[in-house]
Amino acid sequence: MGLPALEFSDCYLDSPQFRERLKSHELELDKTNKFIKELIKDGKALIQALKCLSTAKRKFADSLNEFKFQCIGDAETDDEICIAKSLQEFAAVLQNLEDERTRMIENANDVLIMPLERFRKEQISAAKEAKKKYDKETEKYCAVLEKHLSLSARKKESHLHEADNQVDNVRQHFYAVSLEYVFKVQEVQERKMFDFVEPLLAFLQGLFTYYHHGYELAKDFNHFKTDLTISIQNTRNRFESTRSEVECLMRKMKENPHEHKSVSQHTMEGYLFVQEKRSFVSTWVKYYCTYHREPKRVTMVLFDPKSGGKMGEEESFMLKSCTRRKTDSIEKRFCFDVEAVDRPGVITMQALSEEDRRLWMEAMDGREPVGYHVAQLDVIGFNVMKKFIYAVDTRGINEQGLYRIVGVSSRVQKLLSLAMDPKTCADVELENPEWEIKTITSAIKHYLRMLPAPLMTYQYQRSFIKAAKLDNPEARVTEIHALVHRLPEKNRQMLELLMKHLANVANHHQQNLMTVANLGVVFGPTLLRPQEETVAAIMDIKFQNIVVEILIEHNERSWCFFSTVVLSTNMQLNLPRRRSTESKAPSCSERPLTLFHTPTHSQKSETVCICTLQIYFNLYNTSSAINCTFYVCVSISATSPSPTSPRSPSWPMFSAPSSPQPTSSASSDSSPVSIVGRKARALYACKAEHDSELSFIAGTIFENVHASREPGWLEGTLDGRTGLIPENYVEFL
C-alpha cells in the first residue's frame, strides 16, 4: 500500500489525522534521504573499486607486454613467433578494454553521482528547511492560541477584538506555511519518481555500452585466437614427438640414482610442532621427534632456530594412544593428539604435511576421531542422559553454580563423542576425575541444544508462551500441563526425566545456589527455543523461563496422568442427581485432561461410584515409590454402559481395569445405547484447538453424532463440516 494522500482544507491542516499522515510522509522522506546517501556512498565505492580493478588489469597488461619469450635454439618457427607475440596481443586487448572502462567510470560520476547529490541537496534539503519553518510556526501558533484562550472575559471589548485579530493573523500565516510545507513534501515525493530513477538508468546504459565494446573486441580478436590455437597445437605435437627421448632419460635416472635413501633405525622420526600453554597463551614449539614401535616410546628434542640449529634437552614418554584431530576442532592443519601413559593430559602435535601426519599415525597405530552420534531422542540419547543425570545426582548435586558454570568446550565435545558412540559408550566412566561436574552438565545442555527440534517442539512453542502469559496462575499451570501431555511420547519422556532431575537440583538450592528461577534461566531458551530468532522471540525469553519454572515446581503434577493406575477399593453411594447446568461451563483454558460422562436430563436414575485410585510414581534409579491416593467421582446412569466396558464414556482415559472392579446399579444384561447417527446438543461452549475439532457455542445442535476412535471424543457434523466433539460437552436428543 502507498502513502496516505494529504488534504489541504483549512479545517483539516491542524487535525490529528493530518499530522499523522504528514508524519508518514516525513518518515518516507527521511528513508529516501538515507537510502540516497547510502546509494551515493556505494556508488562511489563501486567507482573506486572499478578504478582499482582497472589499475590492476593495466598493470597486468604491462607485465604481459614487457615479458619476452626466449626459445631454445638460434632460430624460431612461425608457431613459436606467434606464441611469443601472443602476450603482447593479450596486453593490447586488455589495454583497449580498460580504456573503455575508464570512459565508463568517468561518465558514471556525471550521470549517477552528481544527479543524486543534486536531488538530495536541492529537493530533500528544501523539504527539511520547510519542515523547520513549519515546526517553528506551529509552536508559535499554539503558544498564541493558548495565550488567547487564557484571556479573561472581563477585559474590554476592544482589547478582546484586537486579540482575536492577532490570532486570526497568526492562524492565516500558520496555514500558509503549512500549505507551503505540504506542497513541498508532495513535490519531492513526486519528483523522486524520475529525478531519482533516471540517473540509475543512465548508469546501466553506460555499463551495457562497456560490455558491448568487450563483445566487439572479442570478435576482432577471434582471428588471432584461431591462429594462436593452431600454433599451440603444433608446438604440443612436436613436444610429443620427442617424448620417447625424455622417457629414455628418466629411465636412466631411475636405474642409476645419484642418492640412496638411508634406512632409519627408528620406526618414525622427523620434526613436529607441539602445542604448549604458557601464561594462558597457546604456543607451538618445534621438536625433533623419534618413535620406536616396540617399546612405544616417543622422544622429543627441542629445536630452537635462534640457537643456530643446536638441539635442546631431550624428553620422552610411553605412548598410550594416538588420534587424528578434526579440522573443525582446531585452527591448525595436520594435527593429531597423543596420550601418554606416564604423563597427564593430551598432547596436540602438528605434522609438516598431510602425508607426514599419515605416516606418523600409521607408525603409532593411530585411529580416526570418534564423531559423536547425532543428537536424537533414541535409545542412545536416553541412555546418555540417564547416565549423565545419575552422575550429577550422585556426585555434584551440592556443587555451587550447577548448570551455570560452563565446562571446557573441547572436553564437552570429547565426552559427548565417547558417550554417544556405541563402540566407546561402555568405556566411559563418569566417576573418573577427568570428567568434572561442569563438563557433564554442559554435555547435558549441549545435547538438548543439538536436537533437531527443541524438546518442547516448535509446534507448541507459541502455545507454551501464550499459556505462560495467562493472568490466572492456576489456569496457567493447568494449560502448561495440558500442553505437556500433547507432546510426542519421546519428547514427553525425556522432559519428564529432565524435570525430575531439575526438581532434585532445586531441592538442594541451599547448597548449590540453583533455585527454580535460576534453572529456568538456564533451560528456558534451550527447551523452548524459537524457530526464527526475532525481536519478538527475544522478548518472550522470560516467558520461556516461566514455563520451565512451572514444570519444575509442579513436577509431580506434570506426569501423574501417565503413571500406572491400580484400582484398590470401591464403593457405591446413591446420591441425588445434580443438574449439569448448576456448574459453570469450563473455559477453553480449563478443558479437562480426562473427559468424564456428563449426565443428561433424560436420565431417570443415577448411581455415583467413588473409586480410590492409588498412583505409584517410579523414581529414577530408586526402588521406592510415591503413593498418592485420588478420589474420582464417576456418574453412571441406568441406561449407560457398564464402567467395566472398555468403551464406557465413564472410563475414557483408562483401559478396562483389572479386578476388583466398580459395580453398577444397572442390570448386567442392559445393552449399551446405540449412538450412531443421532443428534446431540452442546452443553458448553468449546473453541477448537486442532483442525480435526469443531468450534461451537452452548445449545448448538450436531447431526449424525457417532462414536470416534479417539477415547473420550465423539464425531459429528456441524454446518456441513465433520469433526471431533468432546464427549462430556454434549447430551443426546
**Out of 271-275, 561-565, 694-698, least confident range:** 561-565
Mean pLDDT of the chain: 75
Looking at residue 628, what is its pLDDT?
42
**Out of 69-73, 248-252, 650-654, 677-681, least confident range:** 650-654
Q: How confident is the model at residue 35 (pLDDT cuts 50, 70, 90)?
A: confident
Query: How, if at all, do strands 335-340 and 311-324 pair?
Result: antiparallel
What are the cell numbers at 378? 533414541
Looking at residue 259, what is its pLDDT?
41
Instruction: State pLDDT tens for residues 296-338.
Output: 899 999 887 666 555 677 889 999 888 888 766 677 888 998 9
**Out of 49-53, 399-403, 532-536, least confident range:** 532-536
Looking at residue 455, what is its pLDDT?
92
Q: What is the pTM of this model?
A: 0.35
Over pLDDT 70: what percentage of the chain?
72
Residue the block writes with cell 634406512: 263
Which stretches within 591-693 are classed as H helix?
Answer: none
3-class secondary structure per residue, 572-619:
EECCCCCCHHHCCCCCHHHCCCCCCCCCCCCCCCEEEEEEEEEEEEEC
**pLDDT higher at 608 or 456:** 456
Looking at residue 249, what is its pLDDT?
63
Please state, in angstroms and rounded to a whole number, the distance separating the CA atoms of residues 407 and 403.
9
Neighbours of 347 (CB within 10 A): 19
Write out the DSSP string of 83-104. Answer: HHHHHHHHHHHHHHHHHHHHHH
Residue 600 contacts residue 731 (beta carbons within 8 Å): yes
Instruction: State pLDDT tens for residues 693-704.
Output: 888 888 889 888
